[in-house]
Structure 1
Amino acid sequence: MPARPQLPRARFGDLLAEDLVAVTDDPAVVDRGGRWAVVVDFEGTITAARFRTWRRADATADAVGGRWSGVPASRWDSSLGPLAHAEGVDEIRARIAAGDVYQVNLCRVLETPLDDGTTLHGLHAALAAAHPAPYASHVYLPEHDLDVASASPELFLRRDREHLVTRPIKGTAATADAFLDKDRAENVMIVDLMRNDLGRVCVPGSVRATALCAPEHHPGLVHLVSTVEGTLADDVGWGEILAATFPPGSVVGAPKLAALDVIRRLEPVPRGPYCGAIGWIDADDDHAELAVGIRTFWRSAGTLRLGTGGGVTWDSDPEGEWRETELKARRLLAVAEG
């Protein structure tokens, strides 16, 4: 018996948003009020959905999505193979040697065919069970071809009225004793970048790093996480905040504009929601929580996609960088396999 049609919804942890009211791509509309589910893809396209009802709901709310039938690991194709990825690492190192950049995040997108009638409700439930994450989410807007399921561990922006916080992750290893010097060097570079980004919209002198390179454990992985905080200046809206801070520095590199130029040259397909931002904004109460769109699946028409990548520095070697992308994708592909 075919599954019954699913209604638009957004889920962030145990917070469930239903009863869709409006959808916009304009952050100025978000500033006017309401509580919005937000997805910003890496290329900067904003989809903000205002829902009337927000409530706490346990995992049974995902049961209506049906079971996830699974995708065999052998069916995934990669936008960059090992050779092209290695050539990208070598080019980034050459750009570093030339003084153009200090670090660049190089990513590849995996994709596989998916039946058009399959939504990510079941995959989101499986992902939440296998990979408990502080910023787990599922945003489903069928009329806008948007279906994104994420188990992100990384905070992009949290707003508590005038208080802004970002917690960039840079450095990923299987165990806490496996971090390299390059992991810590990358983290410090991105902290400096994020301090600069927040400084564009915060009160001068208020931006500070309050934690640096703290190990944080997640299923199967350990990350180095830093915290940067600042006080938002008066009369700054979400358009200005996103313009100053997006894309998240941890998934771009430094300097940001030069790193973005390298990414556009080396990555053959758009990243989409991967490495973008996923979360919610309460414009009535000036609160928000946006995660970096890592550990994220997204479906568009008949294709399921997943991104994986890592930061490349002068100390990087191509084989090690490829292994890092495989490490980050392996457990997610196992969940997708069902």
Structure 2
Amino acid sequence: MLVGAGDHQHLVARHALVAGENVGRYAEPGDVPDVAGSVGVRPGDGGEDARHAFQGKPWPGPVRAPATIIDVNPTPAQLVAHLAATGRRPAALVGDWFGHAAVVAVDCAPRPVTGRGGSAFSLDDGPPSPTSTTPDDSAEAWTFGWLPYSGTAFSAETRDVLFYDAAAEDAGPAAGAWSVAPGASPELAVALPALLADAAASALPEDPVIAWDDGDRAAHERGVLDCLDAIRAGDVYQACLSTRFHGTVTPPHVVADAVTAASSSTAADSPAPNPTVYAAAGWWARRVAEHSPVRGAFLAGIDGDGRDIVVASLSPEEFLVRDGDTVRESPIKGTVPLSADPAELAASRKDVAENIMIVDLVRHDLGQVAVTGGVRVTDLLAVRPAPGVWHLVSEVTATLPERLAHADLIDACFPPASVTGTPKIRAAELISEWEPVARGVHCGGVGAAVGGRLELNVAIRTAEFRGPAPLLDDADAADEGAGAPITVDVGVGGGITIDSDPADEWDEILAKAAPLIGPDLLGRRAPLQ
């Protein structure tokens, strides 16, 4: 596994298990491997050395003779869960991001951003740095965050970032390699062997018990009928209509007990896990392991009132993928359950029409900032799998003017075309009338930027976990707040065209929601009485 940070760039680090000890060996390129230094990382007391280094304390670890090497590589889901269990707020992008299978910030707490939403990824609201062919070549800070469809954007900067690159498909899920981003602190490189060993040895947190409502089917079907009326009247050609499922992590003391157990199993000097972050990490990590989302994301922020808010995304859809003067959008429109024949989707007049209309809208959005003649449709109507469903996906690329600010690109294209409708402005106006609850993060964008690169997903198949309001110093208030629940919201939507049927649209909602909420949703298909 290659790691690099500061003066430790391109340091080679591996792990071994010797007589019950985790031993991390490191060597500068060109050193003779047999005389490379090795850092002992003992479970319990010895393993604390690396943790001290990570927390900015000097590295007191012993130097040992080389040993037989056995790689210890946790999956990204394991690492995120372990970081949450040790009191950190990881930011993670998993699937296909910036040329890696995962990009993980070890401790990064996005906070509300003032000003226009796109500035969340251009904090100085100026042009990005010149193009980098890969983010590994840049030591610039990373910005992680999200842009909600409705509400306030969140972001945070960090340099302590790890990359994960998967091995060959037949090599197993733990055969990949972790590396440290240029610009990360030297302490992170030193602490990495112990961090990875601890994460690999840790079980995923239990899936939190969440009591979900059934969603508002009646309101959704009324919205579909209203949308059909608007299409017949010529107000819109299609629109994306969403519904919300609300849940409560229950009972609260179960989460508290799990957090206590996690605290007792980690180092004594590690911060206690945050209950909201810990519950969300367990929910997300288990679903990432099961569904392998292409554009998954996990960010644990703090709102302006000090309340925890975690965005846990299993999105299959990319919004903007920018590398310098080139950008790509890959809108999804058209869905059937994974159990269906995907050929049905490719042959569906309704889904094909829906997709092509959104492709035209994406071309328009990108054309507002692209160089003249720089917009191209590079893939049209491809059928691709996603958690629980098949999707119809197209791809549009554009060439951008030199040094166009990320904020200007985002503002031209946001909200994503696939979650609004055509024409976009009128569709958005009507959506706000048809949907009884604001979307929040759902249908916004989640991702990161570094230098001239920007990657955002479309925040579908995404859950918002919110912790209780911060407790007051007053003992009675603290006792009252101790039982306050962690709430969860999941938005799910679908495109409505003139061929849409309200009952079929609700079935599509359930198919999309099942991987997030549970397969029992698929049994709730009986028509409304």
- Judge same fold: TM > 0.5, yes or no: yes
- Whole-angstrom distance in 2 between the partners of 1:227 and 1:189: 13
- Whole-angstrom distance in 1 between the partners of 2:201 and 2:488: 19
CA offset digits 1:16-53 (Å, max 9, x no partner): 10244875625141556631112110126321111120
**Residues 159 and 287 in structure 1, CA contact (< 8 A), matched pair in contact too:** yes
Give the drift of 1:86.
1.5
2:316 corresponds to which residue? 153
1:54 corresponds to which residue? 161
Match of 1:269 among 408, 415, 437: 437
Give the drift of 1:104.
0.8
Structure 1 residues 336 and 291, CA, compared in 2 at 3 Å: closer, same or farther? farther
Q: Letter of the aligned partner of 1:290 in structure 2?
A: L
- Whole-angstrom distance in 1 between the partners of 2:400 and 2:325: 5
After TM superposition, list the pairs within 5 Å mapping 1:77-92 onto structure 2.
77-78=214-215, 81-92=216-227
Structure 1 residues 155 and 65, CA, compared in 2 at 3 Å: closer, same or farther? same
After TM superposition, list the pairs within 5 Å mapping 1:199-278 onto structure 2.
199-278=367-446
1:103 corresponds to which residue? 238
1:327 corresponds to which residue? 511
Give the drift of 1:147.
0.3
- Whole-angstrom distance in 2 between the partners of 1:336 and 1:10: 30
Give the drift of 1:312.
0.6
The higher-RCO structure (CA 8 Å, 6+ apart) is 1
Percent identity, aligned pairs only? 35
- Whole-angstrom distance in 1 between the partners of 2:411 and 2:105: 26
2:93 corresponds to which residue? 12
Match of 1:303 among 480, 487, 498: 487
2:288 corresponds to which residue? 128
2:68 corresponds to which residue? none
- Whole-angstrom distance in 1 between the partners of 2:390 and 2:109: 39
2:126 pairs with 1:38: no
Look up the SS of the partner of 2:491 in the other structure. Answer: strand
Give the drift of 1:165.
0.3
Following TM superposition, the consecutive aligned residue runs of length 4 or more in structure 1 with deviations greater than 6 angstroms are none
- Whole-angstrom distance in 1 between the partners of 2:497 and 2:300: 36
How many pairs were matched up? 329
- Whole-angstrom distance in 2 between the partners of 1:17 and 1:62: 20
- Whole-angstrom distance in 1 between the partners of 2:519 and 2:162: 27
Match of 1:170 among 333, 336, 342: 333
2:455 pairs with 1:289: yes
2:351 corresponds to which residue? 183
Structure 1 residues 8 and 331, CA, compared in 2 at 3 Å: closer, same or farther? closer
Give the drift of 1:62.
11
**Residues 44 and 247 in structure 1, CA contact (< 8 A), matched pair in contact too:** no
Which structure 2 residue ranges, 5 or more long, are not aligned? 1-83, 95-101, 127-139, 165-173, 175-195, 256-274, 468-485, 522-529
**Residues 22 and 51 in structure 1, CA contact (< 8 A), matched pair in contact too:** no
Look up the SS of the partner of 1:29 in the other structure. Answer: coil
Match of 1:67 among 194, 206, 211: 206
**Residues 19 and 52 in structure 1, CA contact (< 8 A), matched pair in contact too:** no
Look up the SS of the partner of 1:66 in the other structure. Answer: coil
2:31 corresponds to which residue? none
Which structure 1 residue ranges, 5 or more long, are not aligned? none
2:213 corresponds to which residue? 76
Structure 1 residues 172 and 62, CA, compared in 2 at 3 Å: closer, same or farther? farther
Give the drift of 1:7.
2.0
Which protein has the bigger strand share?
Answer: 1
- Whole-angstrom distance in 2 between the partners of 1:100 and 1:296: 29
**Residues 324 and 403 in structure 2, CA contact (< 8 A), matched pair in contact too:** no
Give the drift of 1:240.
1.3
Look up the SS of the partner of 1:201 in the other structure. Answer: coil
TM-score, with structure 1 as normaliser: 0.90
Structure 1 residues 267 and 93, CA, compared in 2 at 3 Å: closer, same or farther? same
TM-score, with structure 2 as normaliser: 0.59
- Whole-angstrom distance in 1 between the partners of 2:424 and 2:217: 25
